[in-house]
Each structure stands twice: as C-alpha cells, then as structure tokens.
Homo-oligomer: A and B are copies of this chain.
Amino acid sequence: MKTDTLQNDLTQKNFISEDLGENIFPNPLQLPDNFFAEKPERILYQNTTCCHGKMPDQTFSFGSPGPYKHLYFDPSKVNVGIVTCGGLCPGLNDVIRSISYSCINSYKTKNVYGFRHGFAGLTRSHESPPMILTSEIVSNIHEQGGTILGSSRGAQSIEEMVDTLVSYDISILFVIGGDGSQHASTKIAAEIKKRNLKISIIGIPKTIDNDIAFVYKTFGFDTAVEHARKAINAAHVEAIGSFNGIGLVKLMGRDAGFIAAHASLASGNVNICLIPEEPFDLEQILKRIQSRLVKRDHLVIVVAEGVGQDILVDEESKRFDESGNPKLKDIGLFLKQKICTYLEKRHIPHTLKYIDPSYMIRSTKANAIDSSFCLQLGMHAVHAGMAGKTNTLIGFWNQHFCLVPIQLSLSDKKRVDINDAMWRAVLEITQG
C-alpha cells in the first residue's frame, strides 16, 4: 500500500489553518487535566509482523482524537450543522444525539442545526429549514431507529451547500454518511478552502456494510448482524418446516459481505453463503443445493445483495432486454428463479421461501454496543471539530478511536479477505 506519502501529505491539510495564531480558545470541558492530550500518541495502522519478517512500518499511523486543551473555535460563538446522508443505519439518531449533547451541554455552543434530508437540506434550506436541535428534542431519539433529520441520496451543488453553511454561520459541519457522501465532504472542504472560510468538515463514517477503509468497525454493523441472524433463523425454520425446504435470505452488502458472513457464523444454520468478494459460480451452487437436499432435505442460503451483479447484467441483456425491469438485478429473485427451475427440471419437489429483510434490519435502533460506540463517535467528532480539524473522519482502528483523513479513507476499500480466518470459518461451517 503506497498510502504513506499520501497520508503524510494529507495530515498537514487536516487543519483549517496551520497557524492557529490568534485562534486559541480554552476548552470549557470540566474534566481533569489529564484528559486533554495536547500531543497525543498516534494509532499505528500495522498490527501484524510482516509476512517476510520485515519490521512493520511505523510511519503509517492515525491521529488520536481529543479533547484538546486549546480550541480553534470559541465554543460560545459556534453554530454547528449535522447532516445524515444515504441509506438508514442503526445508530444514526445516537450519533445525532451525542453530537448535540456534546455541543449543547459540554461546549455550550450557540445552535445545533439539523439539516433535513441529507445534502438536499443544504441546498433547499428555504423550503425545508433545518431543525434547531435542543436537549429536549434529542433526549430520547436513540430509542428509535432511523434519523430524525431524514436522509437522501444524490449529488447537490457544492457551491450552494457552502452558501448555506455561510448563511447559517456554521463553523463545523458533521457529515454522517458513507463513501459517496464523504467524497462530497472533501469537495465541500475544498470549496471552503478556496473561499478561505473558517469552516470545519468532520465526517462520521456510516456504512451498514462496514466497508470503509481504515475503519475497523462502523456503527450499526453489530446491530445489523443481530437482525440479519433473525432473518436467517426464520429461513431455517421455514426450511425445516417443509419437505426439501429451502430458505433463501438476501442480506445487505453491495461490495462487501461482512454482514452475510458474520450473520452466517452467528446463526450456525447456513449451508451456502455467497458474498461479492468470492466469484459466483451458479452451476456449482445449484449442484450443492441438490446434493444437500438429497442428504439432509432442507437448506439455508444467504446471499449478499452485491453478488453476481456482472452475471445479472449479462442475463438481463440476453434474456430480458425488452423489459429493463430493475427487479431482475435482484440477485435474490434471480437465484430463487434459477434454483426452482433447476430443481423442477430434475423433478425434485421443494419449497423455497425467499426473505429480504433489508428495510427491517437497517431501520432498527442500535444495540447497546453500537449505542456506546455512537456516543463516543459523536463526542470525538465534536472534539475534533472544535480543535479546527477538518476533512477528517472519526475512525476506529486497533482498539482506538482515531482521525483518518477523508481522502486517505477514500483511496482504498475494505472487503472480506477471502483468505483469512473469518471467511475460512464460514467455509468450514457451511461445508455440511
């Protein structure tokens, strides 16, 4: 990985200004002195000895988050903005609540604006003005899934978004979103720099698929695995409830199969687990299904939504080009049809139940460990923003929260390593 130079380069740029100069304000947090680490240690990226006995690289590391003794912003004069982008994920409300509480109660900022419906709220704030988040409003929101701010997908004008930040006198914008949204974050930060504004952009990585590079764990993932397991267990109950019963579950995972893999491990009832990282061989899968039915008369298949997208496109162009029905890109329905056709041709009676639990999973409230994680994430984000960091994600690596330059994170992808122990465990338990 040639990210070292990139990182070193980026680190320099992750402050609004290299010369804090006059901009030094005392931190109002009432905490013992030891909690303010002015020169914090850094979190090492590497965590194993190199394969060839080489010493690991010590220069690739992440900044340690605050709180900081000296702030770039005067908290009492600060307005902050929060925006939630992309699909729902358990814990969004926890993060909104944590940022709001930290700003209101700990830093005593002026206003916390919750922009509505993702980046759209930053361009249409006249139609759909931001909520002013108070302690009362956010106090119980973590008890419910989703985001009280609403979300949306899709690009917006960077210029207009920065105009809105200016018009609301925002000093720090917290962008809770995935790869696409953080890509927009870097563009917003660039526009801010171009205009020479004093606005910090802090990213909170949000991906239920857990596929953001240099971030070991994203919030909501554990919760998603919990509910994915329930769907798998439902499929298992359905499968054993019929002769040659087949339970087929499609789980989230556009590019990364972490949810499918962990939920399969957690359930212990999965016989075939398909993830985007592993090449998709339809014929071989159909044969495994047949042989399993002969042997044990029921089976459970888990498939991540991103599996076989290339094949689906092919199939579609060959066989369904007149319809252009987007449902045909649904690997779950595709597999359902293929399996049934295959078994019918061989006169194998069967009952297939297809379960697509995605909306029911992503809309749940965060489980306790995710809630604890979100609360800490939100606090770290506020500490970083107040200190004048910008263009930075709050990550979690090697057991520590850390600061990851957004561009560094965007330079790579996190995927299931199909050579590692976790995936091998999946293969081992799905052999039977």
List residues of A whose CB falls within 8 A of some B CB.
Answer: 29-31, 34-35, 41-44, 46-51, 55-56, 58, 61, 64-65, 67, 88, 94, 97, 101-102, 105-106, 116-117, 120, 128, 140, 142-148, 150-152, 216, 222, 225-226, 228-231, 233-235, 237-238, 240-243, 245, 262-263, 265-268, 353, 355-357, 359-360, 363-364, 367-369, 371-372, 375-376, 379-380, 398-401, 419, 421-422, 424-425, 427-429, 431-432
> Which residues of B are found within 8 Å of A51, using beta-carbon distances?
41
Pick the contact of A266: B238, B267, B375 (CB < 8 A): B375
- Known contacts being A65-B421, A428-B106, is A42 close to B47, with CB within 8 Å? no
17 contacts between A and B (CB under 8 A): A56-B58, A88-B238, A88-B241, A143-B143, A150-B241, A151-B242, A152-B243, A222-B222, A226-B368, A231-B360, A235-B363, A267-B368, A355-B360, A357-B360, A360-B360, A376-B422, A398-B398
- The smallest beta-carbon distance between A49 and chain B, in angstroms, is 5
Q: Is the CB of A360 within 8 A of B428?
A: no
Pick the contact of A230: B229, B360, B425 (CB < 8 A): B360
> Which residues of B are found within 8 Å of A140, using beta-carbon distances?
140, 143-144
Within the assembled complex, what's the spacing in Å between the Cα atoms of A355 and B355?
10
- Known contacts being A47-B400, A105-B432, A399-B47, is A359 close to B234, with CB within 8 Å? yes
Nearest B residue to A226 via CB reads: B368
- Known contacts being A150-B243, A428-B31, is A376 close to B265, with CB within 8 Å? yes
Q: Is the CB of A375 within 8 A of B425?
A: yes
Within the assembled complex, what's the spacing in Å between the Cα atoms of A34 and B44?
27
> Which residues of B are found within 8 Å of A128, using beta-carbon distances?
243
Q: Is the CB of B42 within 8 A of A44?
A: no
> Which residues of B are found within 8 Å of A263, using beta-carbon distances?
368, 372
Q: Is the CB of A353 within 8 A of B360?
A: no
Q: Is the CB of B369 within 8 A of A151?
A: no
Q: Is the CB of A144 within 8 A of B237?
A: yes
Q: Is the CB of A49 within 8 A of B56?
A: no
Q: Is the CB of B43 within 8 A of A47?
A: yes
- Known contacts being A47-B400, A151-B242, is A268 close to B142, with CB within 8 Å? yes
Within the assembled complex, what's the spacing in Å between the Cα atoms of A144 and B34?
38
> Which residues of B are found within 8 Å of A265, using beta-carbon distances?
371-372, 375-376
> Which residues of B are found within 8 Å of A150, using beta-carbon distances?
240-243, 245
Pick the contact of A48: B41, B50, B116 (CB < 8 A): B41
> Which residues of B are found within 8 Å of A142, using beta-carbon distances?
268
Within the assembled complex, what's the spacing in Å between the Cα atoms of A25 and B425?
21
- The smallest beta-carbon distance between A177 and chain B, in angstroms, is 13
Pick the contact of A359: B30, B355, B379, B425 (CB < 8 A): B355
Within the assembled complex, what's the spacing in Å between the Cα atoms of A42 and B67?
33
> Which residues of B are found within 8 Å of A56, using beta-carbon distances?
44, 58
Q: Is the CB of B146 within 8 A of A237?
A: yes
Pick the contact of A367: B145, B243, B353, B367 (CB < 8 A): B367
Nearest B residue to A55 via CB reads: B58
Q: Is the CB of A34 within 8 A of B419?
A: yes
Q: Is the CB of A225 within 8 A of B368?
A: yes
- The smallest beta-carbon distance between A415 and chain B, in angstroms, is 15
Within the assembled complex, what's the spacing in Å between the Cα atoms of A307 and B238?
25
Within the assembled complex, what's the spacing in Å between the Cα atoms of A105 and B296?
15
Q: Which of A47, A56, A97, A363 has the most CB of B within 10 A?
A: A363
Within the assembled complex, what's the spacing in Å between the Cα atoms of A94 and B241?
15
Q: Is the CB of B226 within 8 A of A31?
A: no
Within the assembled complex, what's the spacing in Å between the Cα atoms of A398 and B397?
8
